[in-house]
Amino acid sequence: MADLVEYEVAREHLGNKITDDGIVQHQFQKGDTRLADPAIVKHLVGTVLIDPSAEKAEPALENKAEGNAAKNKGAKAA
């Protein structure tokens, strides 16, 4: 078995839970953690599971024009 990764559950789903007794079916709820092989759950990452090693996107700018636009767009150049 490959190295296991601990994912945060973003959406409720039915999946395999790895326990000391083996693998059992489990209903995962949003906010749970799921220990899984990345190769097996790769189709769930990004939609159902949150990858802990993924980089967070930068927040969107509040005003894209800020700092780039001329103070008075209608003014004629000198």
Per-residue model confidence as pLDDT tens digits over 29-56: 999 999 999 999 999 998 999 988 887 7
Any domain includes 74: no
Residue for token digits 């700018």?
Answer: 61
Any domain includes 73: no
Any domain includes 72: no
Any domain includes 24: yes
Any domain includes 33: yes
Asked whether 3 and 41 are in contact (CB, 8 A), the reply is no
- At 19-33, the pLDDT tens digits run 888 889 999 999 999
**Domain count of the chain?**
1
Q: What is the DSSP code (8-state) at residue 75? A: S
Any domain includes 31: yes
Domain that holds residue 14: 5-50
Task: Using the predicted structure, report yes or no on whether residue 67 has a pLDDT greater than 70.
Answer: no
**Average pLDDT of the chain to the nearest whole number:** 83
| pTM, to two decimals | 0.63
Any domain includes 59: no
Q: Given this model, what pLDDT does residue 70 score?
A: 62
Any domain includes 41: yes
